[in-house]
Amino acid sequence: MKTLSAVKIGDRVTVGSIEGDDDISVRLLEMGLVPGVELTIVGYAPLGDPIEIELIGYRLSLRKTEASRVLLTD
């Protein structure tokens, strides 16, 4: 399954699930990364980390390690 850390700028994707059962996965869910939500990849920092996304009318920056835990639907 594809993860959020492996998508290109401008792609519009849908969250399938969050990998893990720890504080980070709970925090990702609290920030709105819940199954079924659509988001757009806005950009990457010059060295590729963090990644900036837009969802539910706001923008959010995630480290690549966090983004790699967001599994996407096809």
Is the model's pLDDT at 73 over the cut of 90?
yes
Is the model's pLDDT at 74 over the cut of 80?
no
- Residue 1: predicted pLDDT: 82
DSSP per residue over 29-44, as a string?
Answer: HHTT--TT-EEEEEEE
- Residue 48: predicted pLDDT: 87
Encode pLDDT of 13-59 as tens digits: 999 999 999 999 999 999 999 999 999 999 999 998 999 999 999 99
pTM, two decimals, is 0.89
Burial class (CB in 10 A: 0-12, 13-18, 19+), 51: buried
Encode pLDDT of 45-55 as tens digits: 999 899 999 99
Q: Is the peptide bond before 50 cis (omega within 30 degrees of 0)?
A: yes
Residue whose pair of structure tokens reads 């539910």 in the numeric block: 56
CB 37 within 8 A of CB 55: yes
